[in-house]
Structure 1
Amino acid sequence: MPQIYFDAATKGNPGESTCGIVIIVDNERHYFTESLGLMDNHRAEWEAFILSLKHAAELNVNNALVYTDSKLIGDSIEKNFVKNEMFKSYFNEYKQLQQKFDLVFVKWIPRVQNKEANQLAQTALRKHLKKRNKK
């Protein structure tokens, strides 16, 4: 089953944010990084989650095991609701995106098991900040 790892990096809270996504399909790795703009770290994690599903759909992934080190997202998906009104639009977008897949499992993992996505997000943030500071 294809695997999706994602993570967000934020400088400040709120602050500049980026994300890193690794999608593994048939032992082939697909890497994505994106600048997310100014937001808090929880919103950045939700943005990264949504983007990871969109990229997986573009790769024609039908079934996916999604790994996150965000307890907020892991708990929200497991319990099938979000408490914070601020994240309901992300949860609703997840529910719509979920329909593009036959199966989507979301599993919380410790940060140490999400190193590749974390490093991608951190590198993207450093590059983004360096580029911005040169302007």
Structure 2
Amino acid sequence: MIEVYTDGASSGDPGKSGAGIYIKKDGNELEYAFPLGVVSNHEAEFLAVLKALEVCQKEFPGEILSFRSDSKLVVDAVERNYIKNEKYAPLLQRINEASDTFPYFFMKWIPEKQNKHADYLAKKGIQLND
């Protein structure tokens, strides 16, 4: 099983944004920081999950994925397969489609203090927009 920590960050809301992905597998740790352009903080959180799924599709196809995020909005949306704000519905749909390519996909909410590494990488992703 692969543990995947994701976080999205924005400098402004909306503003320059980044995605941070921290992956633990078999004692190895992988780090990714992606620029996301100008989006809202909530969009950055959804996009971070999508970016992580893209990485996992490329690097770990067929693996069991256990995602962790400090975004209650994203975790609740994925768990319930429902989002009240229609603005985020296409992002949820893309997450569902990408996660369906894996045998098992779990998502769990964690407090911010347990997601510091992904947060650091997301902030690094903001700087990559330039």
What is the TM-score normalised by the length of structure 2? 0.93
Letter in 2 for 1:64: L
Alignment RMSD, CA only? 1.2
Partner residue, 1:104: 105
Unaligned runs of 5+ in 1: none
Shift of 1:16: 0.3
Partner residue, 2:32: 32
Partner residue, 2:80: 79
Shift of 1:83: 1.0
SS class of match (1:93): helix
Unaligned runs of 5+ in 2: none
Shift of 1:128: 3.3
Q: How far apart in 1 are the matches of 2:101 and 2:17?
A: 27
Shift of 1:56: 1.1
Q: How far apart in 2 are the matches of 1:60 and 1:33?
A: 18
Higher helix share: 1
Partner residue, 1:93: 94
Structure with larger RCO (C-alpha < 8 A, sep 6+) = 2
Q: How far apart in 2 are the matches of 1:48 and 1:65?
A: 14
What is the TM-score normalised by the length of structure 1? 0.90
1:16 partnered with 2:34: no
1:23–1:56 contact (8 Å) kept in structure 2? no
- Larger Cα-atom Rg: 1
1:46–1:90 contact (8 Å) kept in structure 2? yes
Identity %: 33
SS class of match (1:121): helix
Instruction: Give CA deviations for 1:70-124 in whole Å, capped at 9, x if unaligned.
Output: 0100111122211111111111111111121000000000000001101111233
SS class of match (1:112): helix
